[in-house]
Amino acid sequence: MDILKSFSLEGKVALITGASHGIGMAIANAFAAAGATVCFNCSSESSKVRALEAYKANGVDAHGYVCDVCDEEAVKALVAQIKEEVGIIDILVNNAGIIKRIPMLDMSAEDFRKVIDVDLNAPFIVSKAVIPGMIEKGHGKIINICSMMSELGRETVSAYAAAKGGLKMLTRNICSEYGEYNIQCNGIGPGYIATSQTAPLRERQPDGSRHPFDQFIIAKTPAARWGEAEDLMGPAVFLASDASNFVNGHVLYVDGGILAYIGKQP
Ligand code: NAP
Ligand code: GCO
């Protein structure tokens, strides 16, 4: 058996939602390097154009689309357009996501619903649009980008934690409902990753010192560092490839060990 070939994505069509930068772009670049044709969507034309330039500079011929993952009709049209222009989607990464860091008592129900809409309802909508094609092809891979907040809470992230906890269970339910069609649905739970989403937690203080939360994460992570989006590339290729055909309903935490560690004594 050629074990390395089992990690190949040659001939596969992948859609990574929200891959205009950050974790999604790193995963899309990894899939391209493994042989896949990559498609991505984001929420604005300007973001799409910038991303296409970045992919091209990296030697990746990505297909970019503007599509709000919360808009079911737009998502259905996106999947149909990709089928027409590229092919039926073999691999879906539900990556698009937002966070609003607001104490629960100060958070409006509208803000709560918006986070749930993007981080939980949208993976349902996109998966529902993509699964019929996977059934038609006789195989499929769905990877939901969960979070440490699929397991833990913390102050100010009530909506995000509720969404990511739900996304873990949606992952298990898609596994349960569609495993018989040779569709594997797993999650990746990144730890604290240095992207635009966490930039506010890493800002230098006026006196030049590190942000208190930055220091907290360094002390709480056995790897003693923030993750980089590139740290997720290998795990994502594994879960997108034939190498993981009997892995289903699992959330793979890529967190430098933070979930296993009580934290360094101050
Ligand atoms: P990011 O840098 O903020 O990127 C978010 C991406 O999602 C962007 O491409 C954005 O598109 C897209 N997006 C947001 N709302 C959208 C919508 N309604 N429709 C379509 N696209 C939308 O985030 P990130 O740090 O890379 O995080 C990516 C995923 O990983 C998220 O699900 C996040 O919750 C999760 N995660 C992140 C971390 C971390 O520490 N960074 C840790 C665990 C999990 P535009 O460019 O057009 O805005
Ligand atoms: C926060 C962070 C986290 C990370 C990630 C951790 O405010 O606590 O944004 O939520 O984004 O989800 O896994």
Going from the Cα of 256 to the center of ligand 2, the distance in angstroms, rounded, reads: 14
> Tokens standing for 54?
């970045």
Whether the CB-CB separation of 34 and 9 falls below 8 Å is answered with yes
Average pLDDT value for residue range 226-237: 98
**38-94 tens-digit pLDDT:** 999 999 999 999 999 999 999 999 999 999 999 999 999 999 999 999 999 999 999
pLDDT confidence of residue 74 = 98
Q: What is the mean pLDDT of the chain?
A: 97
Active site residues: 160
pLDDT at residue 1, as a whole number: 78
For 224-239, what is the mean pLDDT? 98
Q: Where residue 205 falls among pLDDT bands split at 50, 70, 90?
A: very high
Nearest ligand (C-alpha, residue 65): 1
Reply yes or no on whether the pLDDT at 107 is more than 90.
yes
- Do you know the residue count of the chain? 266
Cβ of 159 below 6 Å from ligand 1: no
pLDDT at 98: 98
Residue 238 CA to residue 231 CA, distance in Å, equals 13
* Residue 123's pLDDT band (cuts 50, 70, 90): very high
| Spatial distance between the Cα atoms of 140 and 128, rounded to a whole number of angstroms | 13
| Ligand 1 atom 31 nearest Cα | 97
- State residue 2's pLDDT score: 87
DSSP-derived pairing of the beta strands 63-66 and 37-42? parallel
Task: Look at residue 266 and tell me whether its pLDDT is greater than 80.
Answer: no
Atom of ligand 2 nearest to the CA of 161: 10
pLDDT band for position 213 (50/70/90)?
A: very high
Evaluate whether 217 touches 226 at the Cβ level (below 8 Å).
yes
Smallest Cα–Cα separation from 116: which of 170, 78, 74, 152? 170
Cα(1) to centroid of ligand 1, in Å?
Answer: 37
Q: Which of 41, 158, 48 is nearest to 95 (CA)?
A: 41
- Rounded distance between C-alpha atoms, residue 201 and residue 210, angstroms: 10
